[in-house]
A and B are shown apart, each in its own frame.
Chain A
Amino acid sequence: MHALARRLRGGSHAGAFGVAVKSRARVTARPPFVRGLDPRVPPELYTAARGASDAPHQGLHREKEKGMNRRDLLRLSIIGGGLAWTQRRPLFAGPLARPFDDLPPSPTTTPFVTPLPAPPVLTPVAPFAAPDVTFPPQAVNAPTYYKIISEERFVSLHPELPPTRMWGYRDANVANWPYAVGPTIVARAEHPIVVRHENQLPANHVGFGVPEETVHFHGGHMEARSDGFPESLPGYTTVFGPGEHYDYGYAMLDPGFSHGAPDASDRPSTLWYHDHLLDFTAQNVYRGLVGLFLFQDELDTLDETTGLRLPSGEFDVPLAFQDKRLDDQGQLAYDVFDHNGFLGDKWLVNGAIQPYLNVKRRKYRFRLLNGCNARFLGLRLVRQGGSIEPFDLIATEGGLLSAPLRNRNLAFLSPAQREDIVVDFARYPAGTVLFFENRLRQDDGRGPSGTFDQPELLNRGPRFLKIVVGADAPDPSVVPNVLRPFTAITQAEINAATRRTFEFKRRNGVWVINGQAVDLTQPMATVQENAPEIWRLKNGSGGWWHPIHIHLEFMHVLKRNGQVPPPDERDGIAKRDVITLGPNDEVEVFLKFRDFRGRWVMHCHTIEHEDAFMMMRFDVV
């Protein structure tokens, strides 16, 4: 509709001051599009047939679940009764009622015909000289070396679509990487790794995305030069272009190691790595520069017969959720002029559109990553027929929880957030079908409808993944009552902390932190190494949500809007590296930047907001 209206503009033959006259013929006629094979796609790659039926459940259904607060929503509880839902985003009248990103809808595809991709684990290479990497003396184990190549490649996102031109990471040991998502890095506590990233992106690329890179290890605790600082500064080069490479060193030491107090309770679980190029992170990440990173130690052994005995191996499944939009050639569509936040209409898991997964009748660990640019997710595990099924939450961005939060029924994931959950499929007879369904209502880049406490959840939503329960299987795994306990920040530390306030706001069409658009040439805050800090993160922008990511250390959430935070972010239970700021939210977090000095950033992880300047540099000195 809107797209057609837009094309009319080209067909208008009116003079400069008289635009009202438009060629009538164009109103009905399809614009003279140059059709046929997309020259960007090699013809031999066109193998798949096009066109497919619409799935009846693909669209968003606007029915809402009955009124519940967040705590109710998160607890497994009986749905029904209760207060009427009154909080709705007003619908705009007039010209602003339309969405301005005018991308036409993606071609339809048959859901659940392709298996869930499992991008392989990155394999080591022979050690190489990496003179730029410095490991601290406490890193006593010999590093393992890896090479990742970033490249343009054509990936089948769905068998009914032509291959899609993407950028992505690939294991240098593997010649052909048919995945949209890069290799999964698995690293062990106290075992440092060196990753060489080789930029083989096309220097003469035409389209959104800039073929320069700086790779951020999201959730990592490492030297500053290996963090993926978004911009090269004089004397400090972090960005590398086509034909160049950059060596990253991840020490994998416990935070506090340099002060004789390594904290083994402060270890991560599910992390990821992605491009972080200044002004172009949204475009580059959307093009595909994304991979997962899993952490392993003597508790979380990735072996269900040892340590905590969490479901492991083939029963430990990372799920990267992303939304994308495709043009009529199956190519990625992206509106480079829209900075509110990109929303797609194709639902991808691990780089495939609406895949399926066959499971055994036993426990599975799913590592959920919201890899969307701007879409928040309210994921429910839904049984065919509609019942909402329970799972145990065992980890957030900041690693395993002190203790599992059992019988949850909603994974609320802001962009870049992760949650590890365990689902026991032994509850279901063979043949049972379940779906991961996004129930959160979100109409534009501002964020979901409702508030953090009361997000607006719909009765149905797009289904990302279909799960089919199969045969029985032995299950030695458990979800123990104690996972990785850690102590909450003490009052003494709170009293000793330096307090800072950061307000996130929209002003004159850009997003600012404390009134300033990003300027990486100078720090907005300078913090002392190993000194306690309390940062008050405040959302001052009417109606906009901002998921705030702080590099280098996990956050202990002390207060949300003056209250005790919900368990999945409460200090003593969970840690976070992305804090969701709903409209007017104010969240107090405790941080201690323990080991690595240098330049770091804090930013909104709605990536279009980040690129539209909602980022600041802080220095640890």
Chain B
Amino acid sequence: MRARTLALALCSLLAACAASGSDPLTRGASATTELAVGTTDVHALPLQGERRRAAEKFGDAPLLDQAGRERRVFSELVRDRVVVVSFVYTRCQGSCPGTTANLVRVRDLLGERFGRDVTFVTFSLDPERDTPSDFADYAARHGITDGWTFLTGGKERLEELRKDLGFYDLDPVIDADRTQHAATLIVGNEPRARWMHVPAALPAEALVRAIERVAK
């Protein structure tokens, strides 16, 4: 009962927010998600239509970040944000180091907008081996501090995420071959329900342009 009232309240709050046309890039990325506290069910969120569809894709079943904290993926890391999503694994000798290095350049180009208006989320492609401390080391190696969350956890959960978010190949042989994994990024603007893929190897300037386009 109380949840329902709260849902309605937040619903109208969001509607007002959307109506004011405020730019998600300037809106604080720290938008709170009180409603979802204590639940891992995105269906309790007062989201409709296409925002709901994205919420279902990310889900809220928790994963562990590089500090070892449990994070609800959608509510804490995606909702109300402009995000850049990537998939890597710490032992990758193929495209991942390049992807991460490129994202570091993007982060530098974004300057103060990074962390405030745009955040990065990186999921593990090898959750059975990638531990939070592996990712802590990985982040340190690449000079990564705030605004960038590395997530690992249950294999099933991450496999499903990988597939739901389009990082798979219909050919099962290629799909099973980690060296041929999708070298793409998702750039998303959750409040706008606007999502796109970009090749991770695009020049960093082009990636920034793509982020700006999606963030509009």
Q: Which of A15, A92, A102 contacts B62 (CB 8 A)?
A: A15
Chain A neighbourhood of B95, CB < 8 A: 508
Chain A neighbourhood of B159, CB < 8 A: 95
Chain B neighbourhood of A96, CB < 8 A: 168, 170, 172, 175
How distant is B94 from chain A, measured CB to nearest CB, in Å? 9
Q: 6 A–B contact pairs at CB < 8 A?
A: A7-B56, A12-B157, A204-B21, A210-B213, A337-B164, A339-B166
**Contact between B181 and A14 (Cβ–Cβ < 8 Å)?**
no
Q: Which of A11, A18, A38 contacts B154 (CB 8 A)?
A: A18
Contact digits for B50-86, partner A, Cβ 8 Å, 1 yes 0 no: 1111111101111110000010000000000000000
Chain A neighbourhood of B46, CB < 8 A: 34
A259 at the interface (CB under 8 A from B): no
Q: Which of A16, A207, A506 contacts B49 (CB 8 A)?
A: A207
Q: Give the 5 A-B CB pairs with smallest separation, nearest first.
A: A509-B182, A19-B154, A508-B183, A16-B153, A9-B59
B48 at the interface (CB under 8 A from A): yes
How distant is A94 from chain B, measured CB to nearest CB, in Å? 7
Number of interface residues of B (CB under 8 A): 68
Known contacts A16-B154, A612-B197; can you find 17 more A-B pairs with CB under 8 A? A16-B70, A17-B153, A34-B47, A100-B164, A208-B50, A210-B216, A337-B57, A337-B164, A337-B166, A339-B197, A444-B170, A508-B180, A508-B181, A509-B182, A510-B184, A510-B199, A517-B202
Q: Closest chain A residue to B21 by CB distance?
A: A204
Chain B neighbourhood of A519, CB < 8 A: 202, 206
**Contact between A38 and B61 (Cβ–Cβ < 8 Å)?**
no
Chain B neighbourhood of A350, CB < 8 A: none
B42 at the interface (CB under 8 A from A): yes
A297 at the interface (CB under 8 A from B): no
**Contact between B170 and A446 (Cβ–Cβ < 8 Å)?**
yes
Q: Which of B61, B62, B175, B183 contacts A510 (CB 8 A)?
A: B183
A338 at the interface (CB under 8 A from B): yes
B37 at the interface (CB under 8 A from A): no
B9 at the interface (CB under 8 A from A): no
Name A7-51 residues within 8 Å CB distance of B: 7, 9-20, 31-34, 38-40
| Given A207-B49, A508-B182, A279-B154 contact (CB < 8 Å) | no
Q: Which of B51, B56, B63 contacts A6 (CB 8 A)?
A: B56
Binding site for B on A (CB under 8 A): 6-7, 9-20, 31-34, 38-40, 92, 94-96, 100, 102, 203-208, 210, 279-280, 327, 329, 331, 333-340, 444-446, 506, 508-510, 517, 519, 521, 542-543, 611-613
Name B115-166 residues within 8 Å CB distance of A: 153-157, 159-160, 163-166
A483 to B201, alpha carbons, bound, how many Å? 50
Q: Is the interface of B mostly helix, strand, loop or mixed?
A: mixed
| Given A34-B46, A94-B172, A206-B164 contact (CB < 8 Å) | no
How distant is B59 from chain A, measured CB to nearest CB, in Å? 4
Q: Closest chain B residue to A204 by CB distance?
A: B21
B105 at the interface (CB under 8 A from A): no
Chain B neighbourhood of A7, CB < 8 A: 43, 56
Q: Which of A10, A210, A337, A446 contacts B61 (CB 8 A)?
A: A10
A30 to B125, alpha carbons, bound, how many Å? 31
A57 to B183, alpha carbons, bound, how many Å? 42
Chain A neighbourhood of B44, CB < 8 A: 32
**Contact between A10 and B48 (Cβ–Cβ < 8 Å)?**
no
How distant is A612 from chain B, measured CB to nearest CB, in Å? 6
How distant is A102 from chain B, measured CB to nearest CB, in Å? 7
Chain A neighbourhood of B213, CB < 8 A: 210, 279
Chain B neighbourhood of A613, CB < 8 A: 199
| Given A336-B54, A508-B182, A100-B163 contact (CB < 8 Å) | yes
Q: Which of B154, B156, B199 contacts A517 (CB 8 A)?
A: B199
**Contact between B50 and A10 (Cβ–Cβ < 8 Å)?**
no
Q: Closest chain A residue to B186 by CB distance?
A: A337
B108 at the interface (CB under 8 A from A): no
**Contact between B41 and A11 (Cβ–Cβ < 8 Å)?**
yes
Chain A neighbourhood of B193, CB < 8 A: 206-208, 336
A580 to B172, alpha carbons, bound, how many Å? 25
A302 to B99, alpha carbons, bound, how many Å? 56
Chain B neighbourhood of A279, CB < 8 A: 196, 198, 210, 213
How distant is A237 from chain B, measured CB to nearest CB, in Å? 14
How distant is A376 from chain B, measured CB to nearest CB, in Å? 16
Residue of B170, B172, B192 ringed by the most chain A CB atoms within 10 A: B170
Q: Closest chain A residue to B51 by CB distance?
A: A206
Q: Closest chain B residue to A516 by CB distance?
A: B199
**Contact between A10 and B40 (Cβ–Cβ < 8 Å)?**
yes
| Given A15-B62, A208-B50, A102-B164 contact (CB < 8 Å) | yes
